[in-house]
Structure 1
Amino acid sequence: MYFVSTRNKSNKNDKWSNQPYLDIYKVNLGEKEPTEVKGLNTKYHDGPVAVSSDATMMIFSRDGHKQGLYKEGQKRVKVAQQGLYLAKKVEGKWEYVKPLSINSSNYSVSHPSISSDGKTLYFSSDMPGGFGDTDIWKASLDGATVGTPENLGASVNTPAKEGFPSIEEDILYFSTNGMQGLGGFDVYKKDLTKTSAAVNLGRPVNTNKDDFSFSMKAGADFGYFASNRSGVDNIYKALAICKSEVIAVVKNSETGKKLSEVVITITDAMGNTLGTESSDVNGEVSFAINCETAYMLVASADSYKTLEVQVSPTTASSVEEELLLSPVNEMITEKEVKLDNIYFEFDKSFITERGSKELDKLVKIMKDNPSMHILVKSHTDSKGNASYNLKLSEERAQSTVQYLISKGIAKDRLSGKGMGSTDLKIDCTPNCTDEENAKNRRSEFIIVKK
């Protein structure tokens, strides 16, 4: 890794920043101590740098003192313009060659980045023809000869500051304080083959401080960037998150008809809701996901049995899940109304939002069948004290009954009974698995009268 740093305390301080002038360093990743790049550093600012993909050519920024590039209108102090300079590796060492042809005393040229084929140079400059302060430009590159600069346009540049470009194939990373970001300089990503706007990389790369100089090799799962979030400029490593998309297609299990207006909720492994959408006219809804993580899709609609489908981790850019919803008439048997489990929070008896959606289906069934009477039986698993389990299950049964009454079901059509752990669906005591315990924790809706 090549980087610039003010760590050389023997340098005199830059009067503008009261920090030592920047020097160019290198470090083999995994080693602790970086070393100065000999032959390139001066007593003024040197860097940032860009290295060609074959590691034989370097283009780096430098204050223009040696070249005599000074800002005009400075009477008392000579202020050098930043320019770009070429170095080549000879027998394993970097040797300075010459300044690039686009350097000028009328404007700065800095922050170089070289395309992978070595034929295009990207840089920042306040040269005429831009949008404001410093913009991102590109130009053809042939050794130290640079073609006519071309401004990258309004999808990248603003009237404020843009800088620190890094090009990988057709993807440009850059930083700006001229777009609506999180504060200070933010890192953005722009696909140069598309007309779409640049995309803010978001947290945790960007903060309300200055975040800049992001670089990431094509196909790599990590990148590097600089930030002053700690109060001083430091280099950070960013790990890429594998992104994918899950597309849920909702259908009637009997007819195969695609169903719209079905509420689809995506949850994580802990049951936390991450998003909720309704299926469109094609029965579809999509969610952006982390492809290395498992998720659960929960589909809920009036007159249909709630369905849960697990989404397994995947490396595909998108996956499709078919959700086949069973009509409500399949829920009514001779002995009971079959609902999905009515979930309660641990050690609690109040009805959760998820539980209420399931109970609302029973409300509809009982309103459609006005002579139906239901006994609510609430069960626990075999863990814990038997008398406590019986008490908790009774509270849950009565809480369920009260919810149904609150939805307009007559009190005399309902009864509730807590069963505790006295009627296990799976007799596995004392070595029940988590799956067996889950099956034992259940609510039953017994049809007393049709």
Structure 2
Amino acid sequence: MLRKILYTVVLLLVSIGSLSAQDKSLERANAKYDEFSFTPAIDIYKKVLDKGFVSAELLKKLGNSYYFNAEYKDASEIYGRLVTEYPTEVTPDYYFRYAQTLRSLGEYEAADDLMKKFSDMTSGDYRANNFTTERDYRKEIKENSGRYSIGPFESNTVYSEFAPSYYKEGLLFSSDRDTGNLAKYRHTWNSKDFLDIYKINVDSVSMSKVVKMDKAINTRFHESTTVATKDGKTIYFTRNNFKEGKSVKDDNGVIRLKIFRAVMEDSIFAYIEELPFNSDSYSVAHPALSPDEKTLYFASDMPGTLGESDIFKVTINDDETFGTPENLGNTINTEARETFPFVTSEEILYFSSEGHPGLGGLDVFATKIKDNNYTGIVKNVGEPINGKLDDFTFIFDEDTKTGYFASNRESGLGNDDIYSFVENIPLELDCKQPVSGVVRDKISNQVLVGATVKVINEDNVEILQILTDANGYYEILIDCDQGNFIRAMTDGYIPSEEYMGESDGKPQVIDFYLERDKIGAGFGDDLAKLLQLSTIYFDLNKYNIRPDAEVEIQKVIAAMEKYPSLKIKVNSHTDSRGKDAYNLWLSQKRAESTVGYMVSKGISADRLEGEGFGETKLVNGCGNNSKCSSKEHDLNRRSEFIIRE
């Protein structure tokens, strides 16, 4: 008994010791996680998990550590365990990240299922809205694909090369090649491996001659993502937060990123200054300049950010001071990561995002800036620029139609590699809305062939015009980033128009029903012919109004209501079968029946007159004793509507 008790005590002490060690391991892992030191955190979390200790919190942090380190396959496995083993503890963001990891593995249908769950769990989330309202995103990405030809970048190594930017006749880029380690910096803001900025002349015979930038710019901390002014005398770049040679951490122990400005004096960068909107408590990184160099774009998680990081802009004043940073808004930014902006000479903003529908990881997107407006359509640039993993730091020269970007795709030489590309087919970024319809006569419903359809903008400038086809049909594309008037018109009709405001570009059908500006060219005209009505027919030996005739008579009534001065004489006819006197009586009855019907529908009797002509005005040769068929005789049993004084 004593042995059993001692054995139990020993087991308990071992168990307590094991739990205590496990708690300390988790404390160390959580500390690394909170510092965004994901690689050491992964090592510890894995050891704890391998020993059989598991919780929702551990799976969340391990999954996130893989995710933010761009190890999507491992992240997918851990997120899979999380949603399977702890479904009640899974918040929406984990479904989103799990879906992203599945996209990076090419499992798009499974990713879509997770995005549906994510959408069901959220309200007003832009990522969910993008998924549920923005069509079949895979189809759109496929349509945008194949526009670029990718080429090599000779200066890649087995280390990381990324963040190309134009500098004089060459490029600047970031690399960890001199640190002697294989950094996995990619797009995170917290790597502990050091990056420096290098320059190269892309016009040289060989791109292998790479030169490290001045020591004034490169330090023993991180330097990356640059943008230079056209004259090459000013460079904005990203650096770890440090003061007086020492790194500075925020309250959570994180070394943030800041943007610095280097100014050239006497052919060297002698003046380095920190931008005034940097902070020790949030990151400001990845600068880009507008074509006129009066606006600086950047990525940040500063207050006012919608997601994990957003793209902002700030005015550069004439005296080199700065305005107040502005968020570019929720058309571009989502609750996830938007980063690495670049603006072309044509004011097309390219950026990387995981919040907009993509192929996996970070994808490159584009949108057109119009009059300082950032609400234009956002498009995924498609393959081969984008792939299953991270694609970022995209730059493009509008004049040469060439550019560079970075990716951590598996085919690369190092962890991150730079690729060159040529744009073969421009990406259509103007929002175009298909509008189609049919132009008809309002009364007769007859299609109007050759009618003119015009598009006129809000400044009353005619944008385009087309003619309706043989079916009265038209189809146009309008700019849905602005308001437009669509006007239909043709001779003899009053023009009609509809206003189309700014929209999301979804197809719209607008049918026009034009009113005649007048009825007939003069007295004695047949209104039925003018309105292109079907002939009013009667059954054999009958004078009651048939249902099909009632529809056509209603159109005549509509015309008389539209034009109060219009007066009509109803001329009714029979075929030649039967006695002449009987046919004359029958036709008179048909005329009176037609007039009576119209009076019953509200038309004043003094505007109507009826007369029967029997078989005296046949429309064909089917007279007495003819051998006409029943259908041929039918054509003569009719009423006409003649305009009278």
Q: Using structure 2 for the length normalisation, give the TM-score.
A: 0.36
Give the partner amino acid of 2:305: G
Q: 2:367 aligns with which of 171, 175, 190?
A: 190
Structure 1 residue 94: deviation in Å?
Answer: 2.6
Sequence identity (%): 37
Give the partner amino acid of 2:221: Y
Q: Does 1:204 align with 2:379?
A: no
Q: 1:103 aligns with which of 278, 303, 325?
A: 278
Q: Does 1:72 align with 2:250?
A: yes
Q: Which residue of 2 aligns with 1:227?
A: 407
User: Secondary structure at 1:83's aligned position in 2?
Assistant: strand
Change (3 A) 1:141 1:69: farther
Structure 1 residue 5: deviation in Å?
Answer: 0.5
User: Secondary structure at 1:129's aligned position in 2?
Assistant: coil
Q: Which residue of 2 aligns with 1:363?
A: none
Q: 1:7 aligns with which of 134, 158, 177?
A: 177
Give the partner amino acid of 2:351: F
Give the partner amino acid of 1:134: S
Q: Does 1:145 align with 2:321?
A: yes
Aligned residues: 255
Q: 2:226 aligns with which of 49, 65, 69?
A: 49
Q: Counterparts of 1:167 and 1:66 in 2: how far apart (Å)?
A: 31
Structure 1 residue 200: deviation in Å?
Answer: 0.6
Give the partner amino acid of 2:175: S
Structure 1 contact 189–199 (Cα < 8 Å) conserved: yes
Q: Counterparts of 1:228 and 1:108 in 2: how far apart (Å)?
A: 23
Structure 1 contact 69–105 (Cα < 8 Å) conserved: no
Structure 2 contact 250–256 (Cα < 8 Å) conserved: no
Change (3 A) 1:11 1:145: farther
Q: 1:242 aligns with which of 402, 422, 425?
A: 425
Q: Does 1:22 align with 2:203?
A: no
Change (3 A) 1:104 1:69: farther
Q: Does 1:129 align with 2:304?
A: yes
Q: Which residue of 2 aligns with 1:166?
A: 342
Structure 2 contact 394–403 (Cα < 8 Å) conserved: yes
Give the partner amino acid of 1:240: E
Structure 1 contact 26–35 (Cα < 8 Å) conserved: yes
Q: Counterparts of 2:334 and 2:229 in 1: how far apart (Å)?
A: 28
Give the partner amino acid of 2:350: Y
Q: Which residue of 1 aligns with 2:480?
A: none
Q: What pairs up with 1:31-42 in 2 under 5 angstroms?
A: 31-39=207-215, 40-42=217-219
Q: Which residue of 2 aligns with 1:403?
A: none
Structure 1 residue 24: deviation in Å?
Answer: 0.4
User: Secondary structure at 1:146's aligned position in 2?
Assistant: coil
Q: Counterparts of 2:330 and 2:199 in 1: how far apart (Å)?
A: 35
* TM-superposition CA deviations, 1:131-160 (whole Å, max 9, x none): 111100000114662210010001110000
Runs of 4+ off more than 6 Å: 11-19, 283-286
Q: Counterparts of 2:284 and 2:427 in 1: how far apart (Å)?
A: 39
Structure 1 residue 66: deviation in Å?
Answer: 2.3
Q: What pairs up with 1:81-92 in 2 under 5 angstroms?
A: 81-92=256-267
Q: Counterparts of 1:87 and 1:181 in 2: how far apart (Å)?
A: 35
Structure 2 contact 352–392 (Cα < 8 Å) conserved: yes
Change (3 A) 1:85 1:204: same
Structure 1 contact 37–94 (Cα < 8 Å) conserved: no
Q: Counterparts of 1:238 and 1:196 in 2: how far apart (Å)?
A: 25
Structure 1 residue 70: deviation in Å?
Answer: 3.4
Higher relative contact order (CA 8 A, sep 6+): 2
Structure 1 contact 11–21 (Cα < 8 Å) conserved: no
Q: 1:215 aligns with which of 383, 395, 399?
A: 395
Structure 1 residue 125: deviation in Å?
Answer: 0.3
Higher-Rg member (1/2): 2
Q: Counterparts of 1:280 and 1:180 in 2: how far apart (Å)?
A: 39
Change (3 A) 1:11 1:141: farther
Structure 1 contact 72–106 (Cα < 8 Å) conserved: yes
Structure 1 residue 243: deviation in Å?
Answer: 4.7
Q: Counterparts of 1:86 and 1:184 in 2: how far apart (Å)?
A: 30
Change (3 A) 1:150 1:24: same
Q: Which has the higher helix share?
A: 2
Q: What pairs up with 1:26-425 in 2 under 5 angstroms?
A: 26-29=199-202, 30=204, 31-39=207-215, 40-66=217-243, 70-74=248-252, 78-142=253-317, 145-169=321-345, 170-193=347-370, 195-230=375-410, 232-243=415-426, 282=473
Q: Counterparts of 1:51 and 1:285 in 2: how far apart (Å)?
A: 42
Q: Which residue of 2 aligns with 1:310?
A: none
* TM-superposition CA deviations, 1:42-81 (whole Å, max 9, x none): 111011111012211101010011267734333xxx5321
Q: Which residue of 1 aligns with 2:458?
A: none
Structure 1 residue 95: deviation in Å?
Answer: 2.9
Q: Which has the higher strand share?
A: 1
Structure 1 contact 98–144 (Cα < 8 Å) conserved: no
Give the partner amino acid of 1:179: H
Change (3 A) 1:65 1:243: closer
Q: Counterparts of 1:136 and 1:18 in 2: how far apart (Å)?
A: 21
Structure 2 contact 251–281 (Cα < 8 Å) conserved: no
Q: Counterparts of 1:81 and 1:12 in 2: how far apart (Å)?
A: 22
